[in-house]
Structure 1
Amino acid sequence: MSHLSLDFVSTIRADRSGLVDALSDADGLTTWAREHAAELGLDPGFTASGELREQVVRLRQAVRALFARAVTPEPPSRADAPELPGFEESLALVNAAALAAPTAAQLSWNGAPSLVVTPARGTDEPARLCGRLATAAVEFLAGPDRALLRTCRAPRCVLYFVKEHPRQEWCSTACGNRARAARHYREHKRRPASNAIDANLPL
């Protein structure tokens, strides 16, 4: 299940070397935004500036703070919880960004009429980018999938995910395998030494 808002907060992830930030510089934002150009209402040749990258990262931290609040009482992502802005500040920033990109109602008629909301003419790309990201967060957090938002608890993983079936505990099969292996290792280490010795004695 793919959500623009989940993709946005997942630009912070972890690998064997530690945390990885896909938006660590303007080139990183340019690459990520071009991959999501259709969803963001951007031209395919969009290029980010350093100033815009700073705005987008501030917005991402605010959205991550709202995600951290949404999964309560579960713990938030371990990636940056201590550094996130406060809840009220984050809520205000996301709402302000959503207001910054004006939209226009358009009529689509593919077999039947339907309403399509598009960026209004004259909206610059930075406002459109931040506005669309903020709107995606608002739509996600106000929608039914918020109740299914979870923090992946697998070792090294720092991602949020939407629970797609009742028994799902991790964001991916790979994380599930890693978590089960870690659990098995912990249980093996806790086994009393006498049991291990007894297990090796001949019957």
Structure 2
Amino acid sequence: MSDGVLLVGEPLALDLVNTRSAVGDALATPEGLRGWLLLEADRLPEMPQEITGRELEAVRALREHTARTLDHVRRGVRPRRADIGALNRFQRAAPAISELSWRETGVVATRRRLGSASERLTAWLAEAAADFLARPDVAKVRECEADDCILLFLPAHPRRRWCSAARCGNRARVARHYQRHKAG
């Protein structure tokens, strides 16, 4: 959300943290949360039928715990026990099972979560955060180098400097061009 438009495509945990940017909070309202979930729908096993203030507050709390934990972990610092505990509680609130069913070709196991829609949503997001935080490359997470951007990204290339080359990168290149021509 470097310019008010959500950027997605990073690991889900980073996309969640990036819903809060220098220009605002995409999760300020239930409609904002629904919009973000729709952008991430292909990475979520289900979409809640209804987004209420309860779901919004739970996801915002999860985002805060994820952001603080990520800030510590990427710097090699022990995260706060309360944040780790909260991420674990979010997952435990909707336990995951491998539900068996029969199809024409045999038994199929489908991963499902138990609990309310709100608990399932935050449990899936907390699980994505836990999986990401435990990855060895979490230490490579960077903050965008644009002056007016605080978004995080996991660079696929070691020279990547911006959350989005098309947005922040382009603005930085235009600013450098302007400075060179202004000085000349």
- Normalised by the shorter chain, which TM-score bucket? 0.7 to 0.9
1:66 aligned onto 2:59: no
Instruction: Kindly report which structure 2 residues correspond to 1:141-180, keeping only aligned pairs within 5 A, or say none.
Output: 141-173=133-165, 174-180=167-173
Normalising by structure 1, what TM-score? 0.69
Superposed CA deviations along residues 143-179 of structure 1, whole A, max 9, x for unmatched, are 2331321111211111000011121122221322333
| Counterpart among 25, 28, 50 of residue 29 in structure 2 | 25
Amino acid of the residue matched to residue 117 of structure 1? Answer: R
Structure 2 runs not aligned, ≥5 long = 1-8
Q: d(CA) in 1 for partners of 2:15 and 2:55?
A: 18
Amino acid of the residue matched to residue 39 of structure 1? Answer: R
Superposed CA deviations along residues 110-145 of structure 1, whole A, max 9, x for unmatched, are x9x98653224xx21100011011110000111233
Report the CA distance shift for 1:47/1:31 in structure 2 as closer, same or farther (over 3 A): farther
Instruction: Kindly report which structure 2 residues correspond to 1:42-61, keeping only aligned pairs within 5 A, or say none.
Output: 42-43=46-47, 46-61=49-64
RMSD, aligned α-carbons: 3.1
Amino acid of the residue matched to residue 169 of structure 1? Answer: R
Q: d(CA) in 2 for partners of 1:162 and 1:33?
A: 21
Q: Is the 8 A contact 1:41 1:128 kept in 2?
A: no
Q: d(CA) in 2 for partners of 1:141 and 1:153?
A: 22
Aligned length: 171
| Counterpart among 112, 118, 126 of residue 118 in structure 1 | 112
Amino acid of the residue matched to residue 91 of structure 1? Answer: I
Amino acid of the residue matched to residue 17 of structure 2? Answer: V
1:135 aligned onto 2:127: yes
Structure 1 runs not aligned, ≥5 long = 74-85, 190-195
Report the CA distance shift for 1:38/1:46 in structure 2 as closer, same or farther (over 3 A): farther
Q: Percent identity?
A: 36
